[in-house]
Structure 1
Amino acid sequence: MSISIKPDAKDPMSTVCIYLGSEAAGKWLFIVDNADNTGFALLSSRGLRAYLPESETGLVILTTRSPDVALSVADEAEYLEEMGTEEATDLLEKHLGSRTHPSQDPETTTRLLRELTCLPLAITQAAAYLNRNRHVSLTRYLELLRGTEQDMTSLLSREFADITRYRGSQNAIAATWIVSFDQIQDMDPEAASLLTFISCIEPKDIPRSILPSFDSDEKLDHAIGTLCGYSFLAYQEASGMYDMHRLVHVATRVWLRKHGRAVLADADAIRRLGAIFPDWHGGDYQVWRTYYPHVFRLLDRSETSELNERYDLCFQVGTCLHTERRSKITVLYLEPVSRWVSQHLEDKDDRRLAVGHWLGSAYYHVQRMQERVVHIKRRTLDENNQHRISSEGELGRAYLVGGRTREAIEIFVKTIAVNKAVFHEWDISLLSPEYYLAKAYLETHKTKEAIKILEHVVEIAIMTIDRTLAG
């Protein structure tokens, strides 16, 4: 087929369309692949459909991840389901070539394919990585995927050769998704905001109520539809929750860092959760437990942030946790708030007094729980038993943070004496109780005793490091 287009033609696409609609064109198949740009498909003066040829002897196939594009150009659409495990296994075997076939380790293969959501590009990229690094097994690759965010980011960002894709196209799955994220940003800002928010929280079991509020529910539904259309978000009918796959979640963080927006995204998410997280006196236990995983992930991710609203959220979460008698984890979220208010608020400030009240109550409950544990172990275990010694050490630390310094000192002195009967004087096992004893001495103004102990602790630490380096 030869189509003559003049160099100065103002609308060459129309020329192609007219020719394919004529009898001279004969039989043809016209493929429009990855038609995801709604700006061209919907917002141009004529729209994409005006450029698609029509003929009884021709067939047009258009692929898109945008429901808006599909509905604008086609009278009917076929929605492709996810690749099944059997098909995905065949694809992996095909690309691994001469390597050990996945069929020889079906359990690991299934776990890997589930982690990759049976996505063809992800499978192809995994096979390319394994072929290039032949010492890496399927199990090891799976460990890297399930490892740190840094490892996952590195794997997802690796480019690989793929002759089945267009020349010049990006083959790293992260890069491919980032292109899609940019498209979503341009065509549906609300969907981009939703994608950004979800990247800051836990990607599983996301309730609708936690999502950002737009001008109307319809806009939120439209944004959700956009992300579901790209398979970046999935609705779980059984639970009524939404899920984002972990790989997409990590790729979104890569995208945000690429544009320098990760810190701002965390700050916006903190403000959102701070605005909707129920107060402790409401007793909304089910809501708390639904929100907890998302709040925990966000607060842990942003632990270096000095944003005022972050400490407000820590306080909200801490008081709810304490209401549920989860005192140990309560302390983890209230202690940073206590340090912040002591630096920024006056001694008699109501907020500072409230934080002190809640934290003191949490310390008290932690002490009571630990006292019960130690009491039982003192009745059932020998004083040289390491489980008993460990529990007594925890009780000593609870006394120390709760202001019962003298009782803490008694426990640390006894713990150190028992440990010295079991371990050598220079054993590293003595470091922790000696450090806390020195800290207790400092609080009771026994500075000389504290310095002597700390010098010994430092000496043991240096010896341990030297031995490690020598080994």
Structure 2
Amino acid sequence: MTTQLPSVSFGALNQGMQVGQNSGLISAEFNLPPERPETPPQPFATIPFSRDPDFIDRGDILDQINQRCSEPGARVALVGLGGLGKSQLAIEYAYRLAERPDIWVFWVHAGTQARVEEGFRAIADAVKLPGRNQPKADIPQLVYDWLSNERIGRWLIVLDSADDRDVFYGPTGDDAGNGRPFATYLPQSRNGSILITSRNNDMAFRLTGRRQTIIEVGPMVQTDALTLLERKLGSLSDPDVAADLIQALDLVPLAISQAAAYIQARVPRSSPRKYLTEFRESEHEKSRLPQYDGGDLRRDGGASNAIFTTWQISFDHIRSRWTSAADLLSLMSFFDRQGIPRWVLKPSRTVKDAMWAGHQVEAGGGKTGDGSSATDSDRNDHAGDDLNSAFEDHMAMLRDYYLIVADKVGEEFRMHELVQLSIRRWLEASGQQETFKKQYIKRMAASFPTGQYENWATCRSLFAHVQAALGYQPSEDMAEKWATLLHNGGWYAWSQGRYEIAKQMLGRSRKVREKMLGKEDVATLNSISMFAMVLSDQGRWEDAEKLEVQVMETRKTKLGDDHLDTLTSMANLASTYRNQGRWEEAEKLEVQVMESRKTKLGADHPNTLTSMANLASTFWNRGRWNEAESLFMQVMEMSLKVLGLEHPDMLLSMANLTSTYRNQGRWKEAESLEVQVIQMRKRVLGPEHPDTLTSMANLASTYRNQGRWKEAESLDVQVMETRKTKLGDHHPDTLTSMANLASTFWNQGRWEEAEKLQVEVMETSKIKLGADHPDTLTSMGNLALTFSNQGRWNEVESLEIQVVDMRKRVLGPEHPDTLTSMGNLASTYQNEGRWEEAEMLEVEVMEARMKVLGSEHPSTLTSMANLASTYGDQGRWNTAELLHVQVMETMKRVLGSTHPDTLTSMANLASTYRNQGRWKEAESLDIRVMETRNTKLGPDHPSTLISMGNLASTYRYQDRWEEAEKLEVYVMEISKIKLGADHPNTLTSMANLASTYKNQGRWEEAENLEVQVMESRKTKLGADHPSTLISMGNLASTFWNQGRWEEAEKL
């Protein structure tokens, strides 16, 4: 048995007893002096940052933290993208908690194991844990044991930047040598709580164990972001610029603070406006400015204050572990930041991606689980499963790091714009930008379809990403795919009425294809053709015609006269001819196209039906409405059978048929069909689609023709506001809707409102479309019409002469629109009593229309009626009668005896009979017109009321006062209700009734009405308006008849 010797102490000179040679072991025990007892401190806080004087209390986040941390043993996590203010929230909460004297608050940097160990050591030192200075002391265990002791009171530990799983769940290799993960040293005692900040949602869940205690921190709300900027910069002189700036910075707190630091460092050379301007200048500036590191004492010393560098940490962390996930994020950085579809990102057998190469299953020699040889099909299935599984893992990882955000169903993702920029900047710096740009273009070209109706849902979901691609000029080996993508994108944009962006896309596509493939390649011709269609829709018909002729001739040479693409180019050229009023040329081409398509494709093929509809449209423009209706009806019936009720082409054929009904005065039929079309277009295309809005505008026009002006106005306003929102204030379709609303105002006698809109339309058209654009000239003509109702003849004449001259120059002297403007100028001469000038113009218009349109075209007949009216004004009743009879008989034959224009011609002839004193013949016609309008339009329609007034006038000429009075009272009362008390037609009816009273010697009643008419006209039209002067003359006549000569003379 070995006896333990007492400890031996050797002096400084090593003197004393010396042991001789001993072959056994010598054991020496060294006892350190005992630790001096330390007094445990009172609870305190170890927060390594000062409190932020500019802290913004963001909603109820701090309340949520407080509530959840108050639960026994709570673990709460703040998770989100770097720079969103997680640590700042934790700092503020820690300070608020530290204000209580009975709570310990500890801060641990959790970015690396070394930092965590350092944090635990700091806690042990701060609270003076016994044994902490022993060489092999297990510091985390000592801290764990101390925190688990409920007698120490309440405590909070903040684990800041706990992003890396290996830090807490990997082996520690600590001095104690036990290798336990740090996560096992986090106590769950009832008296303490742990607050975690992390960029990794999965990590937060591992540390907390509950999804319910994870608080997601996103960008600031706008009001908080503005407050932060104001606290950093002081008073904001331009709140709108400030609001734009914080939105440009995605409402990210660190980016806003960083921008403020940049601005302050450069005052007065910089300001929010200058920063925003620089930021928006280019992607280079967007990338440069957020790299500024302004310094922030409340951020961990190892963390950068530059927002891009902050996000780079997460990106680098993912790339170092999962390269394919980082590659996926790199690809996503080229998309538009919102609405990135899952299905476009997923691995595809049709799109070979380098990023998935590491996940491919080997092509040969594989074995199945039971040891048998795997077939190619088996291997492909397993490869697909592996790829999909890897894809889902990677997407989950990117979501967990908050680099992307999924929608509610997980089918679309979005990214912060600055995150995308930071990734693209990294790719550029590392020389990988072109690689992922190619991947992006390849995927988008394979995913984005043509712009046909069947593909609209897909196109809609991807279109923003095609717009993003517009700015990515690719390398030569990817140029063709890029051109295809832009061609299809431009096609879709054109179908949606987005002409400017369509023109940009198609122009770029055309340029690339011409360079890569040549000007006569099929794909190049497709781009040129589509580009021409956009120009045509913008009213640039000459430019469109040149391109369409070029395409047509090339296709005839390369493909043949009856090739389907050749026929399409012929149809497009015919459409441009139609817009130019060159209807014979259009018809000739359209007949050729229709017959060829019938032969090549069959009578019921959709393309054949389209050609039939185009021909019908030309018939319609030529006033051949029966032929147009017949063709439109055929198209509609076959479209229903071939395409189905809700196909856009079917709805278009229905809409075309309504226009034919409308021109035939069959307004109830037109209305019924238009309502159906609107309802279906809203359902199929959406309530804001250009075609839906066109249908609504057409229905408003039908209401206008029926005198239902309030309903028309309501629709006109709705269409106008929607177009302003969707297309912009200056889009041609928006201007058209404004002109339509002005027309509705005009019909209601609201001439000032009509004029205001018409002036705006005219001035905007001059700027946006050009002074000689057809739409600009139309707007000038509309304004002139409003001036004429106000008796402003000099202004009317000036505008109309300009319109005539420009239309002659731009469209040609025989274009239908040119002849219309000449007819309007003749009407102005007529109103001014310049009958010879009016007659000369009207004869010229009539003869030109006979030559261009034919003697039976409605416009030709209108010009004949106008000439007859001028003859009547000159007292040339017999000549006028001959023309009126000819017009009436032709209209009966061509349009039908109940067509509105036919009824107008009958009323005109009745007026001529009246002026000739042929009362019975006038009365007979007046009654027929009134009764037909009563049946077709209703007793309250403005046209019906006018015909009743005409009949009353005929009765008055025959001294049939009671019959005249009965009709006139009815017309006046209904006009007051339907049109308003001060509408021009109402005032005319009051004047007519006053005339009847006067003829009966009922002077007071006549005077009362005439005073009302005169005062209303003075207010509405002005004291010098011809109608006002007429009413003053009528009142003067009444005074004279009563012997009130001074009052009469004064008037």
Fold conserved between structures, TM > 0.5 = yes
Would you say 1:91 and 2:228 are equivalent positions? Answer: yes
Would you say 1:78 and 2:214 are equivalent positions? Answer: yes
Would you say 1:361 and 2:529 are equivalent positions? Answer: yes
Deviations for 1:63-105, whole angstroms, at most 9, x for unmatched residues?
Answer: 1121111121213333133334444344334433xxx324x65
* Aligned residue type for 2:510: L
Deviations for 1:259-282, whole angstroms, at most 9, x for unmatched residues?
Answer: 221111111112222332335678
Shift of 1:123: 2.4
Would you say 1:175 and 2:309 are equivalent positions? Answer: yes
Aligned to 2:328: 194
For residue 509 of structure 2, the aligned residue among 333, 337, 341 is 333
Deviations for 1:181-236, whole angstroms, at most 9, x for unmatched residues?
Answer: 11122344444233211211221232333224374555444434433343332345
- Please list, as runs of the form range in 1=range in 2, the aligned pairs for 1:299-378 lying within 5 A after superposition: 299-303=470-474, 305-307=475-477, 309-319=478-488, 321-322=490-491, 328=503, 329-342=505-518, 353-362=521-530, 365=533, 370-371=540-541
Does the aligned pair in 1 maintain the 2:200–2:402 contact within 8 Å? Answer: no
- Rounded to whole Å, the distance in 1 between the matches of 2:466 and 2:242 is 33
- Rounded to whole Å, the distance in 1 between the matches of 2:146 and 2:300 is 30
- Rounded to whole Å, the distance in 2 between the matches of 1:119 and 1:221 is 28
Does the aligned pair in 1 maintain the 2:144–2:186 contact within 8 Å? Answer: no
Q: 1:391 to 1:160 in 2, by over 3 A?
A: same
- Rounded to whole Å, the distance in 2 between the matches of 1:281 and 1:338 is 24
Aligned to 1:36: 163
* Aligned residue type for 1:226: M
Q: 1:148 to 1:280 in 2, by over 3 A?
A: closer
**Where does the alignment leave 5 or more consecutive residues of structure 2 unmatched?**
1-123, 172-178, 348-355, 357-385, 545-576, 581-761, 775-808, 810-1051
SS in 2 for 1:109: helix
- Rounded to whole Å, the distance in 2 between the matches of 1:266 and 1:69 is 32
- Please list, as runs of the form range in 1=range in 2, the aligned pairs for 1:25-424 lying within 5 A after superposition: 26=152, 28-42=155-169, 47-76=181-210, 77-82=213-218, 83-96=220-233, 100-102=234-236, 105-135=238-268, 136-213=270-347, 215=386, 219-237=390-408, 241-278=412-449, 283-303=454-474, 305-307=475-477, 309-319=478-488, 321-322=490-491, 328=503, 329-342=505-518, 353-362=521-530, 365=533, 370-371=540-541
Q: 1:61 to 1:306 in 2, by over 3 A?
A: same
SS in 1 for 2:471: helix
Shift of 1:54: 4.6
281-290 vs 329-338, which deviates more? Answer: 281-290
SS in 2 for 1:232: coil
Q: 1:294 to 1:120 in 2, by over 3 A?
A: same
Does the aligned pair in 2 maintain the 1:20–1:54 contact within 8 Å? Answer: no
SS in 2 for 1:142: helix
292-301 vs 317-326, which deviates more? Answer: 317-326
- Rounded to whole Å, the distance in 1 between the matches of 2:320 and 2:346 is 19
* Aligned residue type for 1:193: D
- Rounded to whole Å, the distance in 2 between the matches of 1:197 and 1:244 is 12
- Rounded to whole Å, the distance in 2 between the matches of 1:79 and 1:206 is 25
Q: 1:179 to 1:338 in 2, by over 3 A?
A: same
- Rounded to whole Å, the distance in 2 between the matches of 1:269 and 1:7 is 59
Q: 1:195 to 1:8 in 2, by over 3 A?
A: farther
- Rounded to whole Å, the distance in 2 between the matches of 1:43 and 1:268 is 36
263-272 vs 198-207, which deviates more? Answer: 198-207
- Rounded to whole Å, the distance in 1 between the matches of 2:182 and 2:512 is 56
Deviations for 1:317-336, whole angstroms, at most 9, x for unmatched residues?
Answer: 41564475667442421321
- Rounded to whole Å, the distance in 2 between the matches of 1:367 and 1:116 is 37
* Aligned residue type for 1:160: G
Q: 1:123 to 1:282 in 2, by over 3 A?
A: closer
- Rounded to whole Å, the distance in 1 between the matches of 2:274 and 2:401 is 29
- Rounded to whole Å, the distance in 2 between the matches of 1:209 and 1:361 is 32
SS in 1 for 2:339: coil
Shift of 1:156: 0.5
Cα RMSD (Å) of the superposition?
Answer: 4.1
Aligned to 1:19: 142
SS in 2 for 1:59: strand
Q: Say how many residue pairs are matched.
A: 373
Deviations for 1:431-461, whole angstroms, at most 9, x for unmatched residues?
Answer: xxxxxxxxxxxxxxxxxxxxxxxxxxxxxxx
- Rounded to whole Å, the distance in 1 between the matches of 2:286 and 2:404 is 19
Q: 1:359 to 1:221 in 2, by over 3 A?
A: same
Deviations for 1:282-322, whole angstroms, at most 9, x for unmatched residues?
Answer: 8412322332331342353134x112x43134225415644
Q: 1:353 to 1:111 in 2, by over 3 A?
A: closer
Does the aligned pair in 2 maintain the 1:42–1:72 contact within 8 Å? Answer: no
Does the aligned pair in 2 maintain the 1:40–1:48 contact within 8 Å? Answer: yes
The structure number with the bigger radius of gyration is 2
Q: 1:169 to 1:39 in 2, by over 3 A?
A: same
SS in 2 for 1:302: coil
Shift of 1:133: 1.7
Percent of aligned pairs sharing the same letter: 23
Aligned to 1:403: none
- Rounded to whole Å, the distance in 2 between the matches of 1:247 and 1:202 is 12
Higher relative contact order (CA 8 A, sep 6+): 1
Does the aligned pair in 2 maintain the 1:22–1:55 contact within 8 Å? Answer: no
**Where does the alignment leave 5 or more consecutive residues of structure 1 unmatched?**
393-413, 415-471
- Rounded to whole Å, the distance in 2 between the matches of 1:113 and 1:37 is 31
Q: 1:161 to 1:316 in 2, by over 3 A?
A: closer
Aligned to 1:447: none
